[in-house]
Amino acid sequence: MSQQGSDKPPHTGPALIRDYVRRLPNAPGVYRMMSARDEVLYVGKARNLKKRVANYGKLAGQPARIGRMILATAAMEFITTETETEALLLEANLIKRLKPRYNVLLRDDKSFPYILVRRDHDFPQIEKYRGAQSQPGDYYGPFASAGAVNSTLNSLQKAFLLRSCSDSVFQNRTRPCLLHQIKRCSAPCVGLIDKDGYAALVTQAQEFLTGGAQELRDKLTAAMQAASAALDFEQAALYRDRIRALSAVQAHQGINPGIVREADVFAVCQQGGQTCIQLFFFRSGQNWGNRAYFPRADRSLPISEILSAFIGQFYDNKPPPGLLLLSHPVDEAELLTEALSIRAGRKVKLSVPERGEKKALVAHALNNAREALERKLAESASQEKLLRGLADSLDLPAPPQRIEVYDNSHIQGTHPVGAMIVAGPDGFQKAQYRKFNIRDTDMTPGDDYAMMREVLTRRFRRLLRDSKGDNPPQRPDLVIIDGGAGQLNVARDILAELGLAEIALLAVSKGPDRDAGRERFHLPGKPAFSLEPRHPVLYFLQRLRDEAHRFAIGSHRTRRKGAVATSPLDAIDGIGPKRKRALLNHFGSAKDVSRAGLTDLKAVPGISAAAAQRIYDHFNAPD
């Protein structure tokens, strides 16, 4: 792969493009069209760069959307590739990274959760897992959402009694935990099941996750009947409960195919200038959830082009299954199939089924896409009305397209966290939420003004820095602060210092007796005011504030939980789970270990003289 560039010609639009064409090779590659502000307008791929880009050298016959893009083009960049397939893969990657204005964009591309059965322990743990599959173990998924994984895990715990606790918790248990008491764990941590018995449970769970649900249920039914015939009713009841749990998993999954073992189903619906793509995951003959996507695309684009671009971007960072079932044909299907096969390392097939079970699966997905889009359009209309009302109530020049709401959370100054949520015409934009761990160690604990000052300074300095890049972020039209006049003044001063005084500000403080509905609203240079009870804008602002509060508290709890789970003993070299457990059993707490003398440390079973010296030195090192 080689990259090619040149000095910017002194003209723009069609003339500029024709000037580039003279120097382009007849080779496959990727091109970028950029505005005078270095904003990437469009990323495209071509089998022949010279011929493809030459099509943009004239305005006649171009759709209005393409004409606007050509006129805005002030520079172009090119990357040549060995094959058109390589160009397609690179194009999808660049579109996701640069988010060009005129491309079809996949929004909300978070990684999907898996179920992981770990293989680095004698008693494997079962857990929800996201991210790179670097942990030793067996992965099952993807699942469409964390909720789908949690529901499945909950039922699997009832059926197979596998542990979900971490290794450190497992090592330090001295008696069964609550999960054993409610019959969701076999308690291998305290020896209530041996290694072979637990391994049998793991094997059965994996048999279920790989599609052997019916065979496993038949085995459990036979075992239940045998136990009942032997008058071992307690064991028979255990088998009965496990069969019920397995049935609950499959009932939650809804539709399950008979002949389709592994496939992703894509169904597209267009209405009102918007597009919905409904995606179902089928693995091991089971339905592992679905998710609706609303890609950003020009309303003039046909479904075939939108779906092709969406699939290319969707599998840019994840392996596709062997079969993709589609509701509509896609552009350049053969090229897309080749690219996906390279990504998967095996043959991938794209199919638009016309009959049978596969057709029924697509029809089911299409019906879900239609319903999701209708809900989305209804919500968007309501949201637009609320934004217009908000603009009228706050005397804004136009309905805000991006609202950022800030809140802080701490307990008496400990583990302070700032939070930012984002909302707009499409509702809450959770992929753009941000949390800020407060870094200022000199800050007075619990100083909300100082916390807000740090959060806003970091946020808007980064905004200004990123605005100089290829893909400048959208600036907020309205910033809402949870607080009163003091918080508002902090925000106003920071924005003024950074040259962003044009951004509208609003602070929301609790009313008398902290009653919802009696909030006071503060605008720069104006007296505080309240909105009438039951005013739609009042409810809207309450929702924004409550969402920011929820996210801030959740972020704070996560940080506090991480701190609680960390022991001072973890920082000492050579002190693993066994020695840590011995120390805690002997002294009672890490704090008492830190106060112990060298002789007392040596007296702990399993702690050598050298280890005792390391522990003592760690807690008694001079400042």
117-130 pLDDT tens trace: 888 888 998 888 88
Is residue 109 a part of any domain in this protein?
Answer: no
pLDDT-derived band at 470, boundaries 50, 70, 90: low
Model pLDDT, residue 307: 94
Is residue 616 a part of any domain in this protein?
Answer: yes
Model pLDDT, residue 109: 62
pLDDT-derived band at 8, boundaries 50, 70, 90: very low
Is residue 8 a part of any domain in this protein?
Answer: yes
Taking residues 460-468, report their average pLDDT. 86
Query: Does residue 6 have a pLDDT over 50?
Result: no
Residue 3 CA to residue 77 CA, distance in Å, equals 8
Instruction: Say if residue 589 is in the same domain as residue 447.
Output: no
Which of 67, 98, 129 terminates a domain? The answer is 98
Taking residues 282-300, report their average pLDDT. 85
More confidently predicted of 456 and 623:
456
Q: Name the packing angle between helices 233-253 and 146-160 (round to 10°).
A: 160
CATH number of the domain residue 87 falls in: 3.40.1440.10
More confidently predicted of 158 and 506:
506
For 304, residues 6+ apart whose C-beta sits below 8 A from its C-beta are 328, 329, 330, 331
Strands 478-482 and 414-424, sheet pairing = unpaired
Is residue 236 a part of any domain in this protein?
Answer: yes
Q: Are 204 and 186 in contact (CB under 8 A)?
A: no
Taking residues 511-526, report their average pLDDT. 76
Instruction: Say if residue 145 is in the same domain as residue 163.
Output: yes
Instruction: Say if residue 462 is in the same domain as residue 602.
Output: no
Enumerate long-range contacts of 330-339, CB under 8 Å, 24 or more apart.
330/304, 331/304, 331/305, 332/88, 332/308, 333/308, 335/84, 335/85, 335/88, 336/88, 336/308, 336/311, 336/312, 338/85, 339/85, 339/88, 339/89, 339/312
Catalogue the E-assigned strands of 385-446.
Answer: 403-411, 414-424, 427-428, 434-437
Is residue 438 a part of any domain in this protein?
Answer: yes
Q: Tell me what percent of the residues of the chain surpass a pLDDT of 90.
A: 33
Instruction: Say if residue 204 is in the same domain as residue 277.
Output: no
For 20, residues 6+ apart whose C-beta sits below 8 A from its C-beta are 6, 9, 53, 76, 78
Instruction: Say if residue 470 is in the same domain as residue 528.
Output: yes
Q: Are 288 and 142 in contact (CB under 8 A)?
A: yes
Least confident of 15-29, 157-171, 184-198: 157-171
Least confident of 104-113, 219-228, 353-362, 548-557: 104-113
CATH number of the domain residue 555 falls in: 3.30.420.340
Find the domain containing 188 and state its range: 114-253
Instruction: Say if residue 555 is in the same domain as residue 594.
Output: no
Model pLDDT, residue 47: 92
For the stretch 567-593, pLDDT in tens is 677 778 778 878 888 887 787 777 788
- What's the structural domain count of the chain? 5
Is residue 393 a part of any domain in this protein?
Answer: no
For the stretch 472-503, pLDDT in tens is 788 999 999 988 889 999 999 999 999 999 99
Query: Does residue 211 have a pLDDT over 80?
Result: no
Is residue 306 a part of any domain in this protein?
Answer: no
Taking residues 211-215, report their average pLDDT. 68
Which of 353, 374, 395 terminates a domain? The answer is 374
- Please report, in angstroms and rounded to a whole number, the separation of the first and last CA atoms in the chain: 55
Instruction: Say if residue 178 is in the same domain as residue 267.
Output: no
Instruction: Say if residue 528 is in the same domain as residue 471.
Output: yes
Top mean-pLDDT range of 57-61, 152-156, 491-495: 491-495
The whole-chain average pLDDT of the chain stands at: 85
Instruction: Say if residue 550 is in the same domain as residue 601.
Output: no
Q: pTM (2 decimals)? A: 0.67
Model pLDDT, residue 284: 75
Is residue 279 a part of any domain in this protein?
Answer: yes
Instruction: Say if residue 430 is in the same domain as residue 483.
Output: yes
Query: Does residue 4 have a pLDDT over 60?
Result: no
Instruction: Say if residue 413 is in the same domain as residue 550.
Output: yes
Instruction: Say if residue 198 is in the same domain as residue 76.
Output: no
